[in-house]
Amino acid sequence: MNLEDFQKFIVEQDALLRRARGANQTDREWMFARTIKLGEEFGELCDEVLASVGDQRKDKLIEHDPENLRNEFADVLITLFLLAKSMDIDVMSTLDHKIEKIKAKHNKQL
């Protein structure tokens, strides 16, 4: 999958999720819910990172599947892009802008 395909997927998922929620939530409540979901997914990623380096509780390590780490990275990215979409943030142009700032900062330090 390339980035363009991923962005199309995000648009499709956003539309599906918006239809599923119906008129029950305001946009503000929806953004709040997505922010909480991002926190949940990030917590799960942290658990998997700990497990992958052996620093998780023994009972969690017994059932640990190394594939979970990849899945949790994907969950964080998908949820993050969905949150950005709901807040009208163009992730790619935002990244371009930030990368230029970082490059400029590092060039000054050299």
* CATH number of the domain enclosing 55: 1.10.287.1080
**pLDDT greater than 90 at residue 101:** yes
The whole model's pTM is what?
0.83
CA distances from 40 to 28, 35, 48, 79, 97 (A): 19, 9, 13, 10, 28
pLDDT digits (tens, 9 = 90+) for 22-59: 767 788 888 899 999 999 999 999 988 988 887 777 77
Total of domains in the chain: 1
Dump pLDDT digits (tens) for 3-31.
999 999 999 999 898 888 776 778 888 88
**Helices H, strands E: what count in the chain?**
5, 0
Q: What is the pLDDT of residues 74-94, one digit of tens each?
A: 999 999 999 999 999 999 999
Tokens of 99: 């990368």
DSSP 25: S
Q: For residues 91 and 79, what is the distance between their CA atoms, to the nearest angstrom?
A: 13
Per the CB < 8 A criterion, the answer to whether 72 and 46 are in contact is no
Domain housing 57: 3-109
